[in-house]
Structure 1
């Protein structure tokens, strides 16, 4: 076989294991023998740094306590000299000071306790290397996008509009990720938002929720003067509330909760606990994890996982449920029919006192009205009527869509008797029940009162 037709060997990540106890190194080497890694060994921090000067290394896993140079100091040097190298600390001691030092100076990605579980060790290493590969691929794609952008500029003028739109989309994504990774060095909050972006890759754009939920929670905290610590916990909870869904099938991820089968429904009810379990090992995330655990509790005690009732539900969890349900109702992740923003708020108001904290609902509606340009429900001049309550002269306050999403009438349309009759007939034919948002002029209101 000639050189041109020879298959390209798959890339084998290099993993450097550092421990002053050779028995530990031998155990780790045996564990990784069957893995697709090139394993390098060092018995001291100095030896590890020497190896790093000789060849590139993808991941360094170091024991915490070693003579001359401890693991935290070694990983701090690795972070300074080779920032792209993933860093994991292995410790057999409950030593918070060493862990904090490793996090602050070495910027470790994970720490693993001795004695370790072999399966968990293998999963941790695989996930760390996969994440590293994804970041490198992101950078490669960003560079490729720039090259393609330069090439596309040479195409004829009929393609310019398409090129500009695509380039803007790619640049916006690249800018957002670059900013997030820069801030990640200083903020756990930003870190959680980055992970939420990765989680969203499992969903089509029309089903993604985390970004809007984060923004709504932040807007609520700002308008109501929530303290910085609570606001930070709520933001992290909003970013990662659905991380426990990542093990679901693609079909289950996009199926409305109301249509899930029995076995899928049981799995759905377990996702808050799964999300909490994934985050509890990170000390700065513990309060946010607790909010996530209880964000599917209901005011009347019929929620899950613990059937908490009323004020026994953490306040942040009650707020998070409002934001999650408001967005997921619009994405078709709760009910089969996708609602518009006002219909979703009307749903929250309808179930206040049953699913939601009644005192929070109206505050949340006011925040949505201030934050979102398409919300009209908070306007005191707007009424929500059924089709048989409509009258000629009323003005649509927002677009009216059929249950299948088809636009029936535009906002601003003045209703006539003929239009009202047609809406009633269409509603009966479709078997639906429309909620129509209208403004009622004074003369129409007066005529209706006389009729009554």
Structure 2
């Protein structure tokens, strides 16, 4: 039974029977369970057997007197309250009981019945309040302990969950970045397919891609800008896909009026075809504006100067430089030096003058294949390739089709496929790979 519902138990101790009877009579209407003992030894026996809330003991008793009894009760059952009944002349006894037994109160003999009842009620109320305080304190400590455990567990779960989310985010970032790279590779493959409709001497897409990449690397452009430039360079001709072969091979300066109108629409048509592919939106914007001119006479939007996206200005330089050499701008194909002179002559009119000078410097310093000498790159016969080697440059078939993109790590399977492709084409390829010790980029699958 809980303490809140249990009747308090009082132990009355006195060696005189009539005193015990008087006490019982005074307390008969009180809500207490009463136990009586005629001496100290008997009282200790009852305390050992029963849960006693309060002991009322006479001071003077043979054998174990009141102060000694209450001192023993305090030692063995400290929660049990103690009250001493003492005569008016027992001052020393009372002091000893207070000091040794740490009594709650002492009452004199003869007692006042109302005062006795009030003192007992007050003592038991005090005991109940003290027990409730202790219970609440224990409850608070336990709840604090559990709360600390919960907090510790929650913090750990938060750390674990945060780590899981970070790992997931990292994986998504890697997947997204790989998807971005895949888009670049896909555009180059598609670019190679587009160029198949052109004669071999007019297939300039690969050179345009190499030029913008060389510029991006030289000027350390951000990766996103470099990627958009490469994709725009690969697909800038996308809007010409529906043209017939005659129009596709005709120099732009020789186009008739109707043909010219169709020609001026191909950049916007190229952007429109890429609208459904979100990762290609920025590249599509560069394609749309790559035929704008610095003086505002270009197409399709007649943008002028700084209003033209920087990437589109660079793409126009690369496209014109390559197409001038391929005979797709003027009736006569221009040699490389004359193509560079053409760019310089029209700087400030067709081209961004500052960017044009940077581009001319780049092309002047670079070898005809657009690559500076690099001792870390080896040209290796397909039968000398080894798994783990990394392609330093794109590998294209004699037809111009892209076989493997730069950065691809070779495996046994890829090497066997290259050798088989050579046999089917009756050709031999030198594959440009980077020395293993010079490769610092992450291996690609």
TM-score, scaled to structure 2: 0.43
Larger radius of gyration: 2
Task: Tell me which of the two structures has the higher relative contact order, counting C-alpha pairs closer than 8 angstroms and 6 or more residues apart.
Answer: 2
